[in-house]
Amino acid sequence: MRISVGDTLPDVKLVKATPDGPEQVQSKDYFAGRKVALFAVPGAFTPTCSAKHLPGYIDKASDLKSKGVDEIACTAVNDAFVLGAWKNENGADAVTMLADGNAEFAKAIGLDADFSGFGMGTRAQRYSMVVNDGVVEQLNVEQPGDFKVSSAEHMLEQM
């Protein structure tokens, strides 16, 4: 069942990409006590994700923080090394990368998708959400192939 506004995020292991290497974190702990702007991409280095999605959150980071966001995070069904390289290549210092390598988080929130037709297997749908102390305050899920409602600009308009 897909997560909804007002729901608490499930407690799932994620892997944070850090300069010192991968760091395992529990989602319950990561989202506790703060407001996080979270967005998901089907994959690092993919065209829309690299050209539009990530750059929008980099460009709007200070605007999001001025609206009370404590942290901006991106999740993808990639490993922490890939997400770390993507972060570095794009100068995304304002964005924390959370690897969901086995799609456990995507499945637990009901936002997984079958990309096997593209040779990519199970991935996350493209979405964004605002999470406040582990509770979903805002949720924007894209239709397949679209990039509209999960953008940083759209998130800001809703805040």
pTM of the model: 0.92
In whole angstroms, what separates CA 35 from the centre of its chain?
14
Query: Is 74 among the catalytic positions?
Result: no
Record the tokens describing residue 10, joined without a space: 């499930």
pLDDT in tens, 103-141: 999 999 999 887 777 766 577 888 999 999 999 999 999
State percent of the chain over pLDDT 70.
Answer: 94
- The single-letter code of the amino acid at 64 is L
Specify the DSSP element, H or E, that contains 156.
helix 152-158
Q: Which is the catalytic residue, given 36, 49, 64, 97?
A: 49
CATH for 13-158 is: 3.40.30.10
Domain spans, the chain: 13-158
Distance CA 90, CA 55 (A): 8
Beta bridge partners of 129: 38, 139
What is the secondary structure of 134-146 as a DSSP string? TEEEEEEEPPTT-
DSSP designation for 46? -
